[in-house]
Copies of this chain bind each other. A is one copy, B any other.
Amino acid sequence: MSSSDKDRIWTAGLLIIGDEILSGRTQDKNIAQVARWLQVQGIRLAEVRVVPDVQEKIVKAFNEVRAENDYMFTTGGIGPTHDDITVDAIAAALGVDVVIHPQARAILERYYADKGGINEGRLRMARVPDGAELIPNRMSGAPGIRLGNIFLMAGVPHITAGMLDSLTGELEGGAPLISETVGGFIPESEVAALLAEVEQAHEKCQIGSYPFFRDGKVGSNFVIRSTDADELQSCMNALCEGLGENGWDFTPGGI
């Protein structure tokens, strides 16, 4: 593996499809879980878009985000009802037909055998863009859909989680982004200069500062991220040293 391969950053885009997120009815949980899963695969989540259940909006966002990333994920809109239009929208975006996937149909027929059998709505969940493979769904029958570097997943978070789990280790990625955290009842505005200085001295690290209010006191967690374990440790040491020199109590691991 050449050095440039080793340093290559793999990225993914995520499209969250659903009126329920944009209306505020449903608190999204998929951004965080997809992000964390991707990090373990050595892939960075580079952009997220949330769009309504409107085909032209889905197509436009999908094509734009996909063009800029190695992998493209969607969540939502692959169920049995009239507002589930992800398959049609992605097929349109890719310029391919929608077909019934025989294996998906067999899975659904088996799953619903003792639940009233297959019907028109349930058969919708066997529809895929032509050329697709299936992503297993251990939770509720209806599979996710894969087309090369494109992954169409369920919107219900624990079903999404199962689909991600079945993809673990399947995707090529780079060095995982690793992190160290140090926190304390330290107002970030007191140490802004220190943070900037330490980050600047460690080119391969980014430092994020995340303030909080707890027990009536302000505090912050400082998160250092890097793909290089040695640089990460060196940056963490420098930051802790700096905080100590400035008289702050801090807790490695964060508070």
Using CB atoms and an 8 Å cutoff, list the residues of chain A in contact with chain B: 16, 18-29, 31-39, 44-53, 57, 61, 79-84, 112, 115-116, 119-122, 124-125, 139-140, 156, 158, 177, 179, 187-193, 195-196, 199, 206-213, 218, 223, 225
A18 to chain B, nearest CB (A): 8
User: How distant is the Cα of A193 from the Cα of B82 in the complex, in angstroms?
Assistant: 8
Q: Judge whether B120 and A193 touch: CB under 8 Å.
A: yes
Residues on B with C-beta less than 8 A from A210 are 20, 25-26
Inside 8 A of A80's CB, which chain B residues have their CB? 188-189, 192
Distance, CA A82 to CA B49, complexed state (A): 25
A215 to chain B, nearest CB (A): 15
Report if A48-B22 is in contact (Cβ < 8 Å); known contacts: A81-B196, A188-B79. yes
A190 touching B19 in the complex, CB below 8 Å, given contacts A26-B210, A31-B28, A57-B47 = no
Copies in the complex: 2
Question: Chain B's nearest CB lies how many Å from the CB of A126?
Answer: 12
Is chain A's binding surface mostly helix, strand, loop or mixed? mixed
Q: A49-B49, A50-B31, A225-B19 are in contact. Are A79 and B211 (CB under 8 A)?
A: yes
In the A-B complex, the 4 residue pairs with the closest CB atoms: A121-B192, A24-B35, A24-B36, A82-B196
